[in-house]
Amino acid sequence: MNLSMGVNETGLSENACWLDGEIFYLPPVLFERKDTNDSSANTWHIYHRSLGWSSVDIDLTFTPIRVYKKTDNFGVVASIFEQWLGEYSGEIRLAGQVLRLDKVMGLAEDHFAKW
C-alpha cells in the first residue's frame, strides 16, 4: 500500500494498494495529526470519504512507535525529514471488498524539501 498527500502537485496520484498480485489505484487521501513536541506520541488519521465520484472509502489510523528525524539546510537546498515506524489499523473498501488492517507494521513520513 502506498498513500500520499501533497506530493507532485500534478493532479495525479501515486496512491495504490496491491492485493493478490493485482493493483488497485486509490483516490487522494487526507492525513490528520496533531503537531506537538513529541510527534511519536500522536495517532494519525488517514482517510478518504467517497462523495459519489469514487467507490473507495479509506479509514485508517497510524500509531507511531519510533521516529527517525534528519534536517539539512544548505541555503538553496534544504530538507526536513521525519519517518515513523508504526502500526496501521482500519479499513479500505474497494471493488466490493473490505480490506481490514489490524496493527500492520509499516512506515509513514513527512518530508519538506527545497531545491
Q: What are the pLDDT digits (tens) for 72-100?
A: 999 999 999 999 999 999 999 887 888 99
The three-class DSSP label of residue 41 is: helix
CB 103 within 8 A of CB 85: no
Beta bridge partners of 106: 86
Global model pTM greater than 0.95: no
Q: Residue 106 CB: number of other CB atoms within 10 A? A: 14
User: How far lies 19's CA from each of 26, 92, 105, in Å?
Assistant: 13, 12, 17
> What residue spans define the domains of the chain?
16-114
